Amino acid sequence: MTAPQARRAARVLLLDGRDRVLLFQGRDPVHADRGQWWFTPGGGLDPEETPAQAAARELREETGLEVEPGALGSPVHQRVTTFPWGDVVYEQSEDYFVLRVDSHEVDTSGFNEVETAAVLGHRWWHRAELASTGETFYPRELLELLP
């Protein structure tokens, strides 16, 4: 068995004026049998990119929302997670940022080819909905991170 591939990522807890958090529903397009899950906007860091720069870039690409990296402040959470994606196992170090907006109409036209194949949809979730859902979402500690 090969060792997991190291990867750094930045993710955003995007909250609207109704205290809902935006999550995307996705799957592994190579191994659809692994199921579906909900996850926050974000993704891997490009070379020479800081976590805040990556988080701002990913927000723009995945939601159409443009923010300066400095508007994200400092990470509110960090974790390391190991997961399979395609035929590779990753050990991903993640920084989570919080951003509040009054409202935002999500625009996914900036998705790349992988995101287009992997993302099935999106929705804004209230805390109570997350607490009572039987669906899988990541990070599992999401409820603890929401204000």
Read off the pTM. Answer: 0.95
- Tell me which residue has tokens 């807890």: 13
pLDDT tens sequence across 22-56: 999 999 999 999 999 999 999 999 999 999 999 99
Question: How large a percentage of the chain has pLDDT more than 70?
Answer: 99
- Determine the pLDDT at residue 1: 63
Mean of the pLDDT values across residues 116-124? Answer: 97
Distance CA 25, CA 4 (A): 24
Distance CA 24, CA 62 (A): 9
H/E stretch holding 118 reads helix 113-118
The pair of structure tokens assigned to 41 is 């906007």
Q: What are the b/e assignments for 64-82, b being 16+ CB within 10 Å?
A: ebebebeebeebebeeeee
pLDDT tens sequence across 59-88: 999 999 999 999 999 999 999 999 999 999
Distance CA 89, CA 73 (A): 30
Find residue 5's DSSP bridge partners: 90
Distance CA 40, CA 119 (A): 11
